[in-house]
Chains A and B, each alone.
Chain A
Amino acid sequence: MVQINFSLKEVNCKVVYYGPGLSGKTTNLEVVHQKAPKGSVGDLTSIATEGDRTLFFDFLPLNLGQVAGMKTKFQIYTVPGQVYYNSTRKLVLQGADGVVFVADSKKGKMPENLESLENLMENFREYGMDPETTPIVLQYNKRDLPEIYTIEEMDAELNRWNCLTFEAVARDGNGVFPTLKALAGQVLESLNRQHSGGSVAQRRPAAVAVGAGVAAGGGGGQQSAQASPAVSVGQATGRAQPMRATGQAVPMQGGVRVSAKNQSISVAKNKKKNRSKGMLWVMLGFVALAGAGAYLHFSGKLAALLGQ
């Protein structure tokens, strides 16, 4: 739920990275943390286990800057992918204004992708959220691996709403920004549309408009009417084509990346990363009560932030 605060002159939006365990959600946030302009992101807080597996969530505050006089901020979360953490995953999803679904392209991972997507839909339903109107983008990650599904296969299995999709190699920082940019655009566009009194029910056209710099074809005239019932039609026709940002969006330009990295080093210096360790026992003891386990961990985090 977007918070518009005229007293603080702020717009606050919540974005959640969803997907199966180990698909690269935390990596996405780490890249955003590194590549974002200096001073525009806060600490990356991870509530993680000893082995760096996300226990409750990762959190990254991002300040987009002034938009029409409002300081526009995104609070970005990842969920734990492990199947048995649904209670905590659900908590993180609550009130989300947009979702990035990070799918694993590696051959053999499709069942996990599908299970996670089904789980997302189930949790959407429980919160009364509508996948047709909630901004969602898909990221097909790990495109660097030798044995991967084709884009067509990924689309056919996962892209049910004619979403924008992005290929990524998150570990190398590729495709991460285009993905988030497109989603953030959809969230803000949907807010803008609500503001200007238009119907909230259409979302895809806006996605194209804002993501235009990314999706080469544009295809500005997409009507949401096509997107809604056409679960299987979407990717079978050529219509999905211009919406996909694929190749063009992810230029593998080494030079650009290097300079971005240089910049990010200075960011990382004063914004120390905040990964915590050593709570494996919490996990072991509380697997059944994942929420409770995470919560204990968490008080420690709060204390740290309060300077204890």
Chain B
Amino acid sequence: MVSDSDHLREKRVVFYKEDVEKINEVLIEFLKLSDSKCNILIDKEGHMVTKAGKTGAIDLQSVSALVAGSYAATREMARLLGEDEFSVLFHQGRKDSIQLTLVGDRTILATVFDERTTIGMVRLYAKEASEKLEEIFRAILERPPQEGEDLDKNFGEDAKGALDFFFVD
């Protein structure tokens, strides 16, 4: 029998405030060191976890979905070529470029940068950052499930109301 808490961990990913604050620190440091424009941390399902830097007009939800899809497609290519996984992915643009770095096995760090810096700098510091992030994730996974913060007791009731309100046929 799988316990409820195991189920919880299996079926959903929870990011607590303290965790995200630690992640943000790493991202901000990386942002400065690499001189990149912005950094977005995305889980493999394509949901954004957090971000740092100027994301301005970027449609973060769509970018996150495409980054995750892009990564998934690359992983499949790697498999077909007999590679384990490509851990870094790079798209070069005229003005901006984007680098995707795998962090652990569940998240992707997307770094947007321009000619103020170089791919070499970004790659160097991204490696460092991703190692730090992996450590944070490892600590999260090893920690027993937290008691404190969870969804509100009214979540179910509220959800019904929100659905009725939204889906007016």
Contact = CB atoms under 8 A, between A and B. Distances in A.
B55 to A, nearest CB: 10
Contacts, number: 219
Interface string A58-83: 01010011111110110101000000
A226 interface: no
A14 B11 CA distance: 12
A122 to B, nearest CB: 16
A262 interface: no
Contacts of A213: 164
B93 to A, nearest CB: 4
Interface stretch (B28-36, B70-78, B131-139): B70-78
B58 A72 contact: no
Contacts of B63: 302, 305-306
Nearest to B152: A68
Interface residues of B, number: 64
A210 B59 CA distance: 31
B109 to A, nearest CB: 15
B147 interface: no
A305 B44 contact: no
A95 interface: yes
B167 to A, nearest CB: 4
A193 B61 CA distance: 27
A185 B12 contact: no
Contacts of A195: 150-151, 155
Contacts of A61: 61-62, 65
Contact of A306 (B44, B50, B98): B98
B12 A189 contact: no
B141 interface: no
Nearest to A200: B7
Contact of B13 (A1, A72, A291, A292): A1
Interface in A3-51: 3-8, 11-12, 14, 35-37, 40, 42-43, 45, 47
Contact of B167 (A1, A14, A177): A177
Interface in B28-56: 43-50
Given A7-B21, A200-B11, A305-B66, A73 B61 contact: yes
Most buried by B among A7, A294, A308: A7
Contacts of A188: 155-156, 159, 163
B115 interface: no
Interface string B69-113: 110111011001000000000010111101000000000000010
Contact of A6 (B11, B14, B165): B14
A191 interface: yes
Most buried by B among A35, A180, A305: A305
B169 interface: yes
B142 interface: no
A4 B15 contact: yes
A178 B164 CA distance: 10
A2 B91 contact: no
Interface in B124-163: 149-156, 158-160, 162-163
Given A1-B43, A47-B69, A191-B12, 16 more contacts: A1-B45, A2-B11, A4-B151, A7-B16, A45-B66, A65-B162, A68-B154, A72-B162, A75-B46, A185-B159, A260-B168, A292-B80, A302-B66, A302-B98, A305-B58, A308-B94
Interface of B: 4, 7-8, 11-17, 19-21, 43-50, 57-59, 61-63, 65-67, 69-70, 72-74, 76-77, 80, 91, 93-96, 98, 112, 149-156, 158-160, 162-169
Interface of A: 1-8, 11-12, 14, 35-37, 40, 42-43, 45, 47, 56-57, 59, 61, 64-70, 72-73, 75, 77, 87-88, 91-92, 94-95, 177-178, 180-181, 184-185, 188-189, 191-197, 199-200, 210, 213, 251, 256, 260, 289, 291-292, 294-295, 298-299, 301-303, 305-308
24 contacts: A5-B50, A7-B15, A7-B21, A67-B159, A68-B151, A68-B153, A75-B46, A178-B167, A188-B156, A191-B155, A192-B159, A193-B156, A197-B4, A260-B169, A291-B76, A291-B77, A292-B73, A295-B70, A295-B73, A298-B70, A302-B66, A302-B70, A303-B93, A305-B63
